[in-house]
Amino acid sequence: MQSEPARLAWITGGGTGIGRALALSLAADGWQVVVSGRRPEPLAETAVAGEGRVHAWPLDVADLPAVRQAVPAIEAQHGPIALAVLNAGMYTSVKLDTFKAETFAEHMRVNYQGVVNCMDPLIPLMRSRGRGHVVLVASVAGYRGLPLASAYGPTKAALINLAESLKYMLERAGIRISVCNPGFVDTPLTEGNTFPMPFLMNVEDAALALKRGIYKGKFEIAFPTRFVLLLKLFRCLPYSIYFPLIRKFTGR
């Protein structure tokens, strides 16, 4: 996909982190960008930084009726959505003394169902035009179970599976789908982590890697490369080797 003036991108979770950095990078390339999120203040700040090419659209992706109203309204005001980066998400570490069903339900409601909610009104519009690109932002935490990520990781594994499952149908309809699997990125989502984060990336480098993958039309956009390759190797290991290695690397 080439970046062209007047093309419209919609980014959820666009007020902070990778979403914000990607919005500003796309805007610098000539895109018009709509950023959504639950908090109006970061969205407004991102819009100001976008110097007229970034537009704030407050939205809770977990609210399906609101999403169903927002997507056609965005198109009515700003034009057809050519690129949707479904990036909104949350992360809470889970320990035995903080294990609550509500934590898992909230992660699934935001990280997984929030993506599905956005695709619900978006796919028919893209299908009617016979074109579009949808990017689901998952995580390398979806490759295999990791300590403290028992609420977060399964939602990202579900997004990877969702992208794989939808690829066949969407491509026949002219719609490209990609899944983005970042490693550790220095964002508000990770700033509370108290454990070592190998190959930690700054947010601008992560957004650039994501943008390059979008422009190349890649199905999986994963970074940083060395960390991704390491975790993909771990994914192939039998449990008898995998669990001791993870315990050694994480100290958990």
Active site residues: 152
Phi, psi values for residue 65, rounded to 5°: -60, -40
Could you count the other beta carbons within 10 Å of the beta carbon of residue 145?
15
Please confirm whether the linkage preceding 224 is cis (ω < 30° from 0): yes
Check: CB of residue 176 under 8 Å from CB of residue 1.
Answer: yes
Measure the N-to-C terminal CA separation of the chain; round to a whole number of Å: 42
Those residues whose C-beta lies under 8 Å from the C-beta of residue 161, and which sit 6 or more positions away, are none
Residue 183, CB-side half-sphere exposure with 13 Å CA sphere: 20
User: Left if phi > 0, otherwise alpha if psi is -120 to 50, otherwise beta: which for 116?
Assistant: alpha
Tokens for 102?
């509500």
Q: 21 with 45: CB under 8 angstroms?
A: no
From the list 89, 111, 83, 88, the residue with the least C-alpha distance to 10 is: 83
